[in-house]
Amino acid sequence: MTGRVVIVGGGAIGSSIAYWLTCEPWPGEVVVIERDPTYARASSALSASAIRQQFSTPVNIAIGRHGFEFLRRAGELLAVAGERAEIGLVERGYLFLASPAGMPALADNHRVQREQGADVELLSPAALGERFPWLSTAGIGAASLGRSGEGWFDGYGLLRAFRRKAGAQGARYLAAAMVGAERTGRRVDAVRLDDGQRVGCDLLVNAGGAWAASIGAMLDIDLPVRARARSVFVIDAAEPLPGCPLVIDTSGVWLRPEGRHYLTGVSPPPERDPDDPPLEVDHALFEELVWPALAARVPSLERLRLVNAWAGYYEYNTFDQNGLVGLHPDLDNAIFAVGFSGHGIQQSPAVGRAVAELIRHGRYLTLDLSPLGLERLRDGHPLVERNVV
Ligand SMILES: Cc1cc2nc3c(=O)[nH]c(=O)nc-3n(C[C@H](O)[C@H](O)[C@H](O)COP(=O)(O)OP(=O)(O)OC[C@H]3O[C@@H](n4cnc5c(N)ncnc54)[C@H](O)[C@@H]3O)c2cc1C
């Protein structure tokens, strides 16, 4: 296709699509509609920004591997006028801890990961204790540790770098909110903005993150994507934790270093996880779940100090907690890239590239993202990912 591509949402996903699409000259125009250029509430700016290969489905593993390769080279790929992009990539593995009951699932996931070429090793409790002497192995049956190709980075830095590079390559950002759409049958003709503008489109991309369902509603499309609040707590550890990876405890609590501090959090239990709540830190979650679990797993963290906290939204796909990527089956000229459910920033490089291929060539060339297609909603076939954090 050619003509005007209108991307609604200029977070990491929308800006990555704009970047990839403008890497080669585009016969038309690439317009990104982003209502908040400060990104104060955007998930990409509030993310824990970690990347892994330890998923249970081949497509997510492949996306993680592609993403890490991109991040290794992001400094040069996203440089503008000779100035390298700074994304602060730290290569350090995820450490998934499993209880004895969780061992079969861990072993299954490990087998799939190895088949996909992921560099992940299984550790016994004894090996774990030797490797990380500050960690209690009580209640652990086995663990899996990424040896390479996993880690964390500056998510806000990546978003800014995508945006800056896309702009330098010709994408045009409009600081306005989409408030309506014009649709004729299976086609979206135009979007309407809160400043009164009408922007005609040959192709529309919904990259609205936690607000994707409201963009869907403007197109008369019902999307199972809801905002779910996630709190991140910044702590000071009483003692150093040498070589600390990104630990996923059996309780679901996660922990990773960030400079001289550590970040931690947990997904709230379902009865405390409403749809579309206010964006507020859940301090009770820290007291009741996070701290006790940390102190049990890392005894010196009994004496931690909470220094800061923030909250952001997961763009939670209530159908199967995986990205929904591709042409919408009810529309001829609308692509959705939504619903990443807490693993979207690491998926932004691969999703941006794949969606740009879909737009330019009508099919995926480098990475086949068809397992993430929206047909699975219509057909009632969830893509089950067991490793959702
Ligand atoms: C606390 C937390 C921890 C996380 N940890 C990780 C992690 O470790 N690893 C990982 O991969 N992912 C993680 N995630 C998830 C990840 O941050 C998101 O999946 C990703 O940032 C989604 O990017 P996005 O561009 O789709 O959404 P966003 O960054 O939210 O961008 C969407 C944009 O759309 C704009 N928008 C919406 N509606 C409209 C409209 N009508 N008009 C104009 N603009 C509109 C918004 O202003 C927003 O800027 C985490 C998220 C949170 C909150």
Average pLDDT score over residue span 379-386: 92
In total, how many domains does the chain have? 2
CA of 347 to the centre of ligand 1 (A): 11
- Is 182 among the domain residues? yes
Residues with CB under 6 A from ligand 1: 8-14, 33-36, 39, 42-44, 46-50, 177-178, 207-211, 215, 230, 232, 312-315, 340, 342-346
Q: Do 115 and 208 fall into the same domain?
A: no
**Domain end position, chosen among 282, 312, 342:** 312
Confidence of residue 195 (pLDDT cuts 50, 70, 90): very high
pLDDT above 90: residue 134: yes
CA of 140 to the centre of ligand 1 (A): 33
Average pLDDT score over residue span 226-244: 97
Average pLDDT score over residue span 335-342: 97
Confidence of residue 2 (pLDDT cuts 50, 70, 90): confident
Neighbours of 330 (CB within 10 A): 13
Q: For a pocket test of ligand 1, which of 20, 43, 372 has the largest count of ligand atoms closer than 8 A to its C-beta?
A: 43
Closest Cα to atom 33 of ligand 1: 9
Contact 253, 222 (CB under 8 A): no
Q: Do 166 and 308 fall into the same domain?
A: no
Closest Cα to atom 12 of ligand 1: 343
Confidence of residue 91 (pLDDT cuts 50, 70, 90): very high
Q: What is the CATH number of the domain that holds 64?
A: 3.50.50.60
Look up residue 211 and give its two tokens: 């607000």
CA of 75 to the centre of ligand 1 (A): 22
**What residues have CB less than 8 Å from 245, skipping those under 6 apart?**
92, 93, 94, 95, 132, 145, 146, 256
Closest Cα to atom 19 of ligand 1: 344
Average pLDDT score over residue span 83-88: 97
pLDDT above 90: residue 385: no
- Is 389 among the domain residues? no
Question: What is the CB-side half-sphere exposure of residue 6 using CA atoms within 13 A?
Answer: 23
Average pLDDT score over residue span 61-72: 97
What does the alpha-carbon distance between residue 94 and residue 325 come to, in Å, rounded to a whole number? 26
Q: Do 164 and 298 fall into the same domain?
A: no
What does the alpha-carbon distance between residue 336 and residue 328 come to, in Å, rounded to a whole number? 7
**What is the pLDDT, as a whole number, of residue 386?**
82
Residue of 387 and 302 predicted with greater confidence: 302
Q: Do 54 and 186 fall into the same domain?
A: yes
- Is 387 among the domain residues? no
**What is the pLDDT, as a whole number, of residue 236?**
97
Q: Do 247 and 288 fall into the same domain?
A: yes
Average pLDDT score over residue span 220-231: 98
Q: Do 174 and 73 fall into the same domain?
A: yes
What does the alpha-carbon distance between residue 134 and residue 141 come to, in Å, rounded to a whole number? 17
- Is 132 among the domain residues? yes
Contact 281, 207 (CB under 8 A): no
Q: Do 138 and 97 fall into the same domain?
A: yes
Structural domain boundaries enclosing 259: 91-151+234-312
pLDDT above 90: residue 206: yes
Question: Mean pLDDT for the chain?
Answer: 97
**Domain end position, chosen among 263, 288, 312:** 312
Q: Could you tell me how far CA 21 lies from the centroid of its own chain?
A: 20
CA of 162 to the centre of ligand 1 (A): 14
Q: What is the CATH number of the domain that holds 106?
A: 3.30.9.10
Residue with tokens 């006790």: 292
CA of 129 to the centre of ligand 1 (A): 36
Closest Cα to atom 53 of ligand 1: 312
What does the alpha-carbon distance between residue 48 and residue 246 come to, in Å, rounded to a whole number? 11
Q: Do 136 and 264 fall into the same domain?
A: yes
**Domain end position, chosen among 312, 333, 351:** 312
Distances, alpha carbon 88 to alpha carbons 157, 158, 204, 263, in Å? 8, 9, 32, 16
Neighbours of 88 (CB within 10 A): 15
The ligand 1 atom nearest the CA atom of 231: 1
pLDDT above 90: residue 94: yes
Host H or E run for residue 264: strand 261-265
Q: Do 287 and 353 fall into the same domain?
A: no
pLDDT above 90: residue 371: yes
- Is 229 among the domain residues? no
- Is 384 among the domain residues? no
- Is 188 among the domain residues? yes
Question: Which one, of 253, 258, 256, 260, lies nearest residue 238 by Cα?
Answer: 260
Contact 51, 152 (CB under 8 A): yes
Contact 187, 3 (CB under 8 A): no
Look up residue 150 and give its two tokens: 């996993």
pLDDT above 90: residue 90: yes
What does the alpha-carbon distance between residue 225 and residue 361 come to, in Å, rounded to a whole number? 28
84: DSSP letter:
P
Question: Which one, of 203, 204, 219, 206, lies nearest residue 10 by Cα?
Answer: 206
Average pLDDT score over residue span 199-222: 98
Question: Which one, of 191, 209, 197, 249, lies nearest residue 389 by Cα?
Answer: 249
Confidence of residue 387 (pLDDT cuts 50, 70, 90): confident
CA of 12 to the centre of ligand 1 (A): 7
Closest Cα to atom 41 of ligand 1: 178
**What is the pLDDT, as a whole number, of residue 342?**
93
**Coil, helix or strand for 111?**
helix
**Coil, helix or strand for 134?**
coil
CA of 42 to the centre of ligand 1 (A): 5
Q: Do 65 and 171 fall into the same domain?
A: yes
Question: Which one, of 299, 360, 367, 305, lies nearest residue 335 by Cα?
Answer: 360
CA of 355 to the centre of ligand 1 (A): 17
**What is the pLDDT, as a whole number, of residue 239?**
95
Q: Which pTM value belongs to this model?
A: 0.98
Q: What whole-number percentage of the chain has pLDDT above 70?
A: 100
Neighbours of 60 (CB within 10 A): 27
What does the alpha-carbon distance between residue 137 and residue 223 come to, in Å, rounded to a whole number? 42
Q: Do 61 and 72 fall into the same domain?
A: yes
Q: Do 257 and 145 fall into the same domain?
A: yes
Residue with tokens 């200029």: 10
Confidence of residue 389 (pLDDT cuts 50, 70, 90): confident
The runs of H, that is alpha helices, within the chain are 12-21, 58-77, 103-115, 125-131, 155-168, 212-218, 283-285, 291-297, 344-361, 375-379
Measured torsion, CA atoms of residues 117, 16, 229, 274, in degrees rounded to the nearest 10: -90
**What is the pLDDT, as a whole number, of residue 388?**
79
- Is 137 among the domain residues? yes
